[in-house]
Amino acid sequence: MLSEFRPCSEQVKPHADFENPVCACINGISSLSARLVLVTFDAMFPRTLFAFAAISILIVSCNQPGSDGIVIGEFASLTGKEATFGISSHEGTLLAVETLNAAGGVLGKKIDLLTEDNQSKAGETSNVVNKLISKDGAVAILGEVASSRSLEAAPICQQNGIPMVSPASTNPKVTETGDNIFRVCFIDPFQGTVMANFVTKTLNAKKVAVFTDVKSDYSKGLAKFFKEGLAKNGVQIVAELDFNGGDKDFKAQLTAIKSAAPDAVFIPGYYTDVALIAIQAKQLGLNVPLCGGDGWESQTLLDIGKTAVEGHYFSTHYASDAASPNVQAFVAAYTKRYNGKVPDAMAALGYDSAMILVDAIKRAGSTDSKAIRDALAATKDFEAVTGKIAINAQRDAVKSAVILQVKDGKFKYLETVAP
Amino acid sequence: MDWLLQQLINGLALGSIYALIALGYTMVYGVLRFINFAHADVLMLGAYAAYFLAPAVNSIFPLPSLTGTLIIVLLSAMICAAIGILIEILAYRPLRQRPRLTVLITAIGVSLFIEFTCQHKAVFGADTKPFPQLLPEHDFHLGGLVIGSNDLVVVVTTLLLLGGMWFIVQRTKMGTAMRAVSFNQQAAALMGININRIISFTFGLGSALAAVAGILYALKAPGIDPLMGVQPGLRAFIAAVLGGIGNLPGAALGGLLLGLLETFAGGISGLSNYRDGIAFAILILILLFKPAGLLGKATIEKV
- CA B142 to CA B196: how far, in whole Å? 51
Q: pLDDT tens-digit profile of B182-203?
A: 988 899 999 999 999 999 999 9
Selected residue of A248, A257, A296, A301 to mutate for chain B interface (largest B Cβ count, 10 A): A248
Indicate whether B281 pLDDT > 70. yes
Using a pLDDT cut of 90, give the percent of chain B over it.
Answer: 61
Q: Which of residues 240-279 of B touch A (CB under 8 A)?
A: 262-270, 272-273, 275
A46–B contact, CB cutoff 8 A? no
Q: How far is CA A287 from the centre of its chain?
A: 32
At B156 the pLDDT is: 94
At A49 the pLDDT is: 47
A220 CB-contact burial (10 Å; exposed 0-12 / middle 13-18 / buried 19+): middle
Indicate whether A59 pLDDT > 60. no
B93–A contact, CB cutoff 8 A? no
At A336 the pLDDT is: 94
- Which of A243, A285, A304 lies at the smallest CB-CB distance from B223? A304
* Strand-pair category, A236-243 with A207-213: parallel
The Cα of B119 is separated from the nearest Cα of chain A by a number of Å equal to 10
* A246 to B231: CB separation less than 8 angstroms, yes or no: yes
Question: Are A381 and A369 in contact, with CB atoms under 8 Å apart?
Answer: no
Domain B2-289 has CATH 1.10.3470: yes
What is the residue-wise DSSP string for B9-40? HHHHHHHHHHHHHHHHHHHHHHHHSS--TTHH
Domains annotated for chain A, with CATH where assigned, are 1-67 (no CATH), 68-186+328-400 (3.40.50.2300), 189-316 (3.40.50.2300)
A315–B contact, CB cutoff 8 A? no
Spatial CA neighbour of B24 closest among B215, B206, B241: B206
DSSP letter assigned to residue B88: I
Beta strands in B36-189 (DSSP E): 129-130, 139-142, 145-148
Helix (H) or strand (E) holding A414: strand A410-417
A247 vs B contacts (CB less than 8 Å): 231
Indicate whether A53 pLDDT > 60. no
At A33 the pLDDT is: 46
Indicate whether A40 pLDDT > 50. no
Q: Compare all CA atoms of chain A with the CA of B227 and give the residue at the minimum distance.
A: A246
Q: pLDDT tens-digit profile of B204-247?
A: 999 999 999 999 999 989 989 888 999 899 899 999 989 988 88
At A251 the pLDDT is: 92
At A146 the pLDDT is: 83
* B222 to A279: CB separation less than 8 angstroms, yes or no: yes
- In this structure, the dihedral spanned by the alpha carbons of residues B18, B21, B22 and B26, taken in order and rounded to 10 degrees, is 180
- CA B90 to CA B94: how far, in whole Å? 7
At A56 the pLDDT is: 47
Q: pLDDT tens-digit profile of A183-219?
A: 999 988 899 999 999 999 999 999 999 999 887 777 8
Q: How confident is the model at residue B299 (pLDDT cuts 50, 70, 90)?
A: low
Q: Which of residues 254-273 of A touch B (CB under 8 A)?
A: 255-256, 258-260, 272
Higher pLDDT pick, A91 / A5: A91
The Cα of B84 is separated from the nearest Cα of chain A by a number of Å equal to 25
Q: Compare all CA atoms of chain A with the CA of B7 and give the residue at the minimum distance.
A: A252
Q: Compare all CA atoms of chain A with the CA of B218 and give the residue at the minimum distance.
A: A248
Q: How far is CA A221 from the centre of its chain?
A: 18
Q: Classify residue B62 as left (phi > 0), alpha (psi -120 to 50) or beta.
A: beta
Q: How confident is the model at residue A11 (pLDDT cuts 50, 70, 90)?
A: very low
B51–A contact, CB cutoff 8 A? no
Q: pLDDT tens-digit profile of A125-164?
A: 999 999 999 999 999 999 888 888 899 999 999 999 999 9
Q: How confident is the model at residue B273 (pLDDT cuts 50, 70, 90)?
A: confident
- CA A167 to CA A88: how far, in whole Å? 11
pTM to 2 decimals? 0.79
User: Please, what is the average pLDDT of chain B?
Assistant: 90
At A167 the pLDDT is: 94
- Which phi and psi (to 5°) does residue A418 adopt? -80, 150
At A25 the pLDDT is: 42
Indicate whether A10 pLDDT > 60. no
- CA B247 to CA B240: how far, in whole Å? 8
A304 vs B contacts (CB less than 8 Å): 128, 130-131, 222-223
B14 vs A contacts (CB less than 8 Å): 249, 251-252
Q: pLDDT tens-digit profile of B73-118?
A: 999 999 999 999 999 999 999 998 898 889 999 999 999 999 989 9
Indicate whether A65 pLDDT > 50. no
A15–B contact, CB cutoff 8 A? no
A237–B contact, CB cutoff 8 A? no
Question: Are B68 and B58 in contact, with CB atoms under 8 Å apart?
Answer: yes
Question: Are A292 and A209 in contact, with CB atoms under 8 Å apart?
Answer: no
Selected residue of B1, B3, B7, B10 to mutate for chain A interface (largest A Cβ count, 10 A): B10
Q: Compare all CA atoms of chain B with the CA of A246 and give the residue at the minimum distance.
A: B228
Q: Compare all CA atoms of chain A with the CA of B271 and give the residue at the minimum distance.
A: A241
A248–B contact, CB cutoff 8 A? yes
Higher pLDDT pick, B79 / B147: B79
At B300 the pLDDT is: 63
Q: Compare all CA atoms of chain B with the CA of A302 and give the residue at the minimum distance.
A: B130
At A244 the pLDDT is: 87
A276 vs B contacts (CB less than 8 Å): 221-223
Helix (H) or strand (E) holding A239: strand A236-243
What is the residue-wise DSSP string for A62-93? H--S---SEEEEEEE--SSTTHHHHHHHHHHH
Q: pLDDT tens-digit profile of B12-66?
A: 999 999 999 999 999 989 888 888 999 999 999 999 999 999 999 999 888 888 9
Please enumerate in sequence order all residues whose Cβ is within 8 A of that of B180, keeping only pairs 6 or more positions apart, or say none: B187, B188, B191, B193
Q: pLDDT tens-digit profile of A308-323?
A: 999 999 999 988 888 8
User: Please, what is the average pLDDT of chain A?
Assistant: 83
The Cα of B235 is separated from the nearest Cα of chain A by a number of Å equal to 12
Report angle CA A232, A236, A238 to the nearest 5 degrees. Answer: 140
Q: How far is CA A231 from CA A175, A212, A294, B199, in A?
A: 27, 17, 22, 62
- What is the interface pTM, i.e. ipTM, of the complex? 0.89
A276–B contact, CB cutoff 8 A? yes
* A284 to B265: CB separation less than 8 angstroms, yes or no: no
At A217 the pLDDT is: 76
At A9 the pLDDT is: 38
Question: Are A396 and A375 in contact, with CB atoms under 8 Å apart?
Answer: no
Q: How confident is the model at residue B166 (pLDDT cuts 50, 70, 90)?
A: very high
